[in-house]
Amino acid sequence: MEEGLFAREGLELQLLVPIPGGADNMIAALHNDSVDLTHVATPFLIRAALAGSDAVAIAAEFSNPIYSLIAKPEISSFAELKGRIVGLADEYGTITLSIRKLMQLRGVQRGEFGARVIEGTSARWACLRRGDCDAVVLGQPQDLLAQEQGYRRLGVSTEAVPDLLYTVTAVRRSWAEANRTAVVRYLRALASAFKLIRTPANREHVIRAIMKTTNASETIAQQTLDLFFSPDRGVLPKQAEIDVSGLGRVIEMMGEAGTIKAPLPEPHRFVDLQYLRAAGVQ
């Protein structure tokens, strides 16, 4: 928005609307006409579609996020988490599914620690700072800031589950069909934003944007970009393209966790690529 990329496509975004109450409400907002497009983690889109929603993914936003399990300074191993309180995200989301899998790989099983569901990285970071949580799952820049302050990173989500499709732009199929031109323009602008972020010549500009939007220091903003791109870990799509195989891995994880039942659905059921193709992206 600040770069004028949507305006260049002839679009005026009226509002960015925070949706309280968890990711399920992101899809509900599409159905009650609170919003036309929503940003949602893929497990919640999948669950909603299986329950009858016509919501569908039209673009990728985060492909392969890196979430850190950050513990109090005195906790130096996964084994020390047994009997402790760990702050996790929604039980149905890929953040919690991947961190639980990471903990299992490191010898800590479900039931051997207390899980506290806390929505949002900022809220989990606050729980750790207060001492109410012994460890929490954090994204950037909070995980980098925590390490700077002496907290320990025990591991990262990509150690257990690489190559996901984490968050997407979702719309109702019926709305997208009725507003095809606007959707294609939106995707062209979104693709341009990803290209801008990924262009090395824009690095300082992007650092300033991270600092402005997250209140992170210049050092933390630089470390965030280094984590994403040095080397490129596929955290962000190149231009909003959807990795259907990454969505398939989310479905497999949900099946393993018992949040959806066999036979598992095909990932193409939850995406509509026609708009990306029309925008020249996929």
Write out pLDDT tens, residues 54-104.
Answer: 999 999 999 999 999 999 999 999 999 999 999 999 888 899 999 999 999
Q: Are residues 274 and 169 in the same domain?
A: yes
Q: Are residues 79 and 150 in the same domain?
A: yes
pTM over 0.85, yes/no:
yes
| b/e code 145-170 from CB counts within 10 Å (16+ = b) | bbbeeebbebbbbbebbeebbbbbbb
User: Per-residue pLDDT for 23 more than 90?
Assistant: no
Q: Are residues 55 and 171 in the same domain?
A: yes
pLDDT digits (tens, 9 = 90+) for 203-254: 999 999 999 988 899 999 999 999 999 999 999 999 999 999 999 999 999 9
Tell me if 200 is assigned to some domain: no
User: Per-residue pLDDT for 15 more than 70?
Assistant: no
Q: Are residues 83 and 133 in the same domain?
A: yes
Q: Are residues 99 and 184 in the same domain?
A: no
- Beta pairing, strands 114-117 & 85-88: parallel
pLDDT of residue 257: 87
Q: Are residues 50 and 122 in the same domain?
A: no
pLDDT of residue 18: 83
Q: Are residues 80 and 117 in the same domain?
A: yes
Count of C-beta atoms within a 10 Å radius of residue 213? 10
Tell me if 52 is assigned to some domain: yes
Q: Are residues 36 and 91 in the same domain?
A: no
Q: Are residues 43 and 174 in the same domain?
A: yes
12 falls in which pLDDT band (50, 70, 90)? confident
CA dist., res. 186 & res. 171, Å (int): 12
Domain range for 99: 68-159
Distance of CA 198 to the CA centre of its chain: 18
CATH of the domain at 47: 3.40.190.10
